[in-house]
Structure 1
Amino acid sequence: MDVVLRARRVVTPSGEAPRSVGVEAGRIVAVDAYDAPSPADHVITLEDDVVLMPGLVDTHVHVNEPGRTAWEGFPSATRAAAAGGITTIVDMPLNSVPPTTDVVALDLKRKCAEGNAFVDVGFWGGVVPGNLGELRALHDAGVFGFKCFLAPSGVDEFPQLNASELERALHEIHEFDGLLLVHAEDAGTLERSPEPHGRMYREFLSSRPRRAEDVAVVTVLDLAARTGCRVHLLHLSSTDEVPRLAAARGSGVPVSVETCPHYLVFVAEEIGEGATQYKCCPPIREAVNREELWRGLADGVIDAVVSDHSPCPADLKQFDTGDFDAAWGGIASLQVGLPAMWTQASRRGYTVSDLARWMAESPARLAGLTDRGSIEVGRQADFCVFAPDEAFVVDQAKLWHKCPLTPYDGLALAGVVRSTWLRGEPIEVDGVPRGRLLVRGAS
């Protein structure tokens, strides 16, 4: 073996225990007792205060390159990911110009990422009005699935689908057993909701009501049941539909669900006047809703926790006016998601093994990344060395995000990522990028 890592706490699918993990040619080839004989070139014994976790998999990242590289880019985003214990990201098709809605755009995005990624990178395709004929070619070119919006996306080059366009997309994607990711907010409900003008968060929250998510989720579930197409609901913030989601899954509807750290950490009641760094869509909701999200995770109705990392330059957050309507909606969090989650999870009695399931194993499975997401023989040797009892205060000036403005700034968090390993070697964020570009089905 090339290297053996010994740790008093190793998270595997069967739980947490002292283990030695053997790596050869970038793959895990042994998971043995802590003191098992280790014929290897290097044996590394980790500190007693750390947990060896699988490298996290974040399937909801807006890298924004090409086109909006002043907002983010592959070098900065993947450095931030590595610093946060993430070894694989899947890039969203919008906020870049052009969006990833045809193979030409996908090829351009891959050229931007090639040689500039510190972690492995895959790509989602996009579904917009008029590109139905591009979807199979994108699928054949290796995207992991397709994203659509049911309400305005926030960028003109990625328009929403109406109900008939959504149904046609589902039929088309089902033909090649693809996956459709849905931003599930109903456009009609949003149009009938109050305008969010002003500095008060409660007015913005009223403009994105729970009902907008609820109506959209019902639409998606009904069409998924009718077409048989696999669907994934993005960034669930409202828990009103959790019972319906559980029932749909129980009846065989092929649906999966994610939520995000900001919905599990922050609450509407604590967001101050003009604090537009908290704006995202769908919005951060009330404390009662946050606890229901945690229960949805614990019950397995919500499968995964991913970042929806969506940074922007500070001026787009409109701090001079504090106007929630005018401000860009998106939260930068790629580097701090794990400690933010651990701070809240540990208070509720959840374990590091739970985090590994929600933030590594489940996202990998949902994207079809069968070679990663857990520490077991045959998987890629991607690791996060995490010190759960070490604390720090977030300083956005020290984050790798190109636009590090974040609502986590100044927040005291528990848990520090000591190192992140990709294919059996530690990632050096000031070194040479070693990330690979991923193609669906090639793992």
Structure 2
Amino acid sequence: MADQLSGIDIHRVMRSQGPVVRCVLLRAPTPESDVDPSADPKSMSVRQIKLELRSYGVDPSSFVEREEMVRALQEARGGLDAEESDDDEEVVEEDGKPAAKAAGSASNDAGEGEGGEEKKDGAPPGTGTGRTVPLQHLIEEVEIDTTPKRSMVAEVLGGPFTFLGQYEDEGIMVMIRRPDWEDDEGNFDGDLPPVNGHPLQPPLDRVEVRGDVLLMRVAETEEELDHDGGGGGGGGKCGRDYEKEVQDAQGGEEEGGGADEPAVEPAAADKPDGGGERKKEVRVPTNDEFFLDYTRDEYLAFASRTDVAAPPIFDGLDDESDGEEADGGEKDDDEDGDGGGDDDDSDGDYDPSEDADDEAAQAGVMNMVLGHLLRRFREENGRGPDGPELLEMRRALAEKLGVELPETPGADGGADGEG
């Protein structure tokens, strides 16, 4: 079974075909692409005119003469200004209830006249008055082949990628190139990508990103993918609950119940367990359902919103860290007295959040591919993997992807016990 999981099945998954979906690419400004939308089209180069025309959805190849492209760009800019004016008037006339198309215009000015202040708390997401989205000429809609072996995300971003974060309500994953141009000492090794000037929505609005940013939409499961019956949390978005399945499976082995009963039930299981609990059916999206289209217009609607706020959990983490510092003050003093903890605790250059971010990014990559693997397993076997199978699958996948996993005594012991 170990040979099958570590070789054939994972290799087949990595070779399997994924859907081609539309995604949004936020390109970092370069000397060739850094176009000022307020610049006079007559003074712009042909390349700059073409780039900005594409940002408005106009195909520049349909024009022959430069003068034609200049007029087309002027008309495109004029049309955008007209849409802004129309949307502002609609918001005022509707008495604070903006029309649906105001969400998609991505071009209202928050705080301009009455329109910027007429938003009501009860308005549906994306229908509030918006703000102008800058750098629209650097926002592109691209097609991504999600076939694992294709590695098209890394190809588009220019190298190995990592997860910057996600917008759960939108079902959007935000990916960037892994910062491999900086060594452990903080020195730059190689070409340094330019800073990406696109303002992201909270909670990613204060993060400095270098290079391009890719946004992909993924489906959410209808129920959580853990089968513990706990029912906490919400929705299993972006594959984040696969790690919970692994933890549950490992816990089942440590309690001694692993071999006879699978720790992970079939996805369609819907039966009462001794205590009368009725397990809900978990519908796992197929490959074609998991990766969804995300268009440029949808991103502009989201980027123009002024009602997006950071999740409360971030404030809670800050409070918790402050509390830990207050409670641990005496311990820190003792360690400083020994002379061993001063460098680690007081070094201003050390940021513990960097380690947490790196671990989260690593887990994000594992979870996305592990979710792909679990769906294939259910499709081929008609059930979900049991505890030992799930743990072995995770180890084999980590080895295949070159991801280092922390040592877990329960996992090693369980595997040896089953073998």
Say which structure is richer in strand. Answer: 1
| Greater C-alpha Rg | 2
Q: Normalised by the size of structure 2, how large is the TM-score? A: 0.25
Say which structure is richer in helix. Answer: 2
